[in-house]
């Protein structure tokens, strides 16, 4: 079972470069999420998509954009990378708000901005 798949697993960028992180889920989930995790901190929500065709800002959206390409795929874009965006990025998916089900996570993209 693939679950939530993120690509790439690792990436190094220079300040100012752009980058798109890809995420796909095969669980037919309606909702998808992007988080960042910094050392010693919990997960902070960047953007989410409650359902196909909708996206909303989370706690830390500045410097990011997202696209819900279809029900399976949700991408995160850094238009002009900054060192403060060095982090581990996790994608997650979830059945939907009316269901008491957990979010399922990918294994992350480790991004370094030099």
Binding mask 84-103 toward other proteins (x if CB under 8 A, else -) reads ------x-x-x--xx-x-xx
Q: Are strands 19-25 and 74-78 parallel, antiparallel or unpaired?
A: antiparallel
- Residue 113 has phi, psi (to 5 degrees) of -115, 120
- Residue 41 as a binder of other proteins (CB under 8 A): the answer is yes
Q: How many residues bind other proteins (CB under 8 A)?
A: 24
Both structure tokens of 55: 């996206």
Segment contacting other proteins (CB under 8 A): 15-23, 37-45, 60-68, 70-78? 37-45
Q: How many CA atoms lie within 13 A of 25 on its CB side?
A: 26
Q: Are strands 10-13 and 109-113 parallel, antiparallel or unpaired?
A: parallel
Note the Cα 8 to chain centre separation in Å.
12
Selected from 25, 31, 85, 93, the binder of other proteins by CB under 8 A is 31
Can you give the binding site for other proteins, defined by CB under 8 A? 4, 31, 33, 40-43, 45, 48, 50, 58, 90, 92, 94, 97-98, 100, 102-108
């Amino acid at each position: 079972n693939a679950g939530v798949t993120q690509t790439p697993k690792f990436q190094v960028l220079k300040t100012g470069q752009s980058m798109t992180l890809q995420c796909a889920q095969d669980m037919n989930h309606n909702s998808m999420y992007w988080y960042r995790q910094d050392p010693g901190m919990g997960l902070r929500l960047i953007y989410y998509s409650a359902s196909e065709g909708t996206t909303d800002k989370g706690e830390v959206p500045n410097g990011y954009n997202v696209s819900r390409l279809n029900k399976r795929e949700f991408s995160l874009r850094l238009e002009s990378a900054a060192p403060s965006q060095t982090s581990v990025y996790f994608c997650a998916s979830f059945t939907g708000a009316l269901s008491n089900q957990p979010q399922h996570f990918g294994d992350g993209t480790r991004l370094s901005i030099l």
